[in-house]
Amino acid sequence: MSDPDVFLSIVAFPLMFVFMGWLIWTILEWFRMRHKSQLQNKILEKFTTVKELNDFIQSEEGNKFLKLFSSNGSAPRQKILSSLSRGIVISFIGVSLILVGQIFSIEMKYFLASGVVLIALGLGFLVSTFISYTLSKKWGIIEKDNSS
């Protein structure tokens, strides 16, 4: 197997599939958010006066509607935990690629390069998580739980 073939099979094809998955996920997320926004607009267009809207918001159904479309206080925590888990998983994948490179000594440089890039990406997620958590606490977005 020549060097370009090894590079394609070890690095380029997996990265291509990851990129395509991310692109599809991004497009689907955009459609979901657009649909949610259109639904909110259609519901709000049903009200002809501010009094009708206020009465609806004060009702139990209106309360459920607001809870459905508003971001609750756990959203920042969920995003931080998601970023933390991504960073850990990506870093472990990078370490495992480096270890697999030790087994296949001929293609080691490709595994090493891929592993280092993934470890750097994972560490970037972890640093981003730490900064997000610190700033969120400082700005009062995340309150400290007194239950523990």
Do 65 and 27 fall within a single domain? yes
Rounded-to-integer distance, Cα 26 and Cα 85, Å: 19
Q: Do 58 and 79 fall into the same domain? A: no
Question: pLDDT tens track of the chain, all 148 residues?
Answer: 566 666 667 667 777 787 788 889 889 988 988 888 888 788 778 888 888 888 888 888 887 777 766 655 567 788 888 889 989 999 998 898 888 888 877 778 888 888 898 899 999 999 999 999 998 888 888 776 544 4
Give me the residue label for tokens 């159904």. Answer: 61
pLDDT at 147: 45
The dihedral sign for the CA sequence 54, 46, 62, 74: negative
pLDDT score recorded for residue 144: 61
Domain that holds residue 9: 1-70
Are 122 and 89 in contact by the 8 Å Cβ rule? The answer is: yes
What total number of domains does the chain contain?
A: 2
Is the same domain home to 126 and 86? yes
CB 118 within 8 A of CB 89: no
Residues 89 and 66 in one domain: no
Per-residue pLDDT, 88 = 93
**Residue 148 belongs to some domain of the structure:** no
Q: Are 6 and 110 in contact (CB under 8 A)?
A: yes
Question: What confidence score (pLDDT) does residue 54 get?
Answer: 83
pLDDT at 73: 53
64 and 78 in one domain? no
Does 32 fall in a domain?
yes
Residues 56 and 7 in one domain: yes
Q: Against a cut of 0.85, is the pTM above it?
A: no
Q: Which of 46, 70, 94 is the last residue of a domain?
A: 70
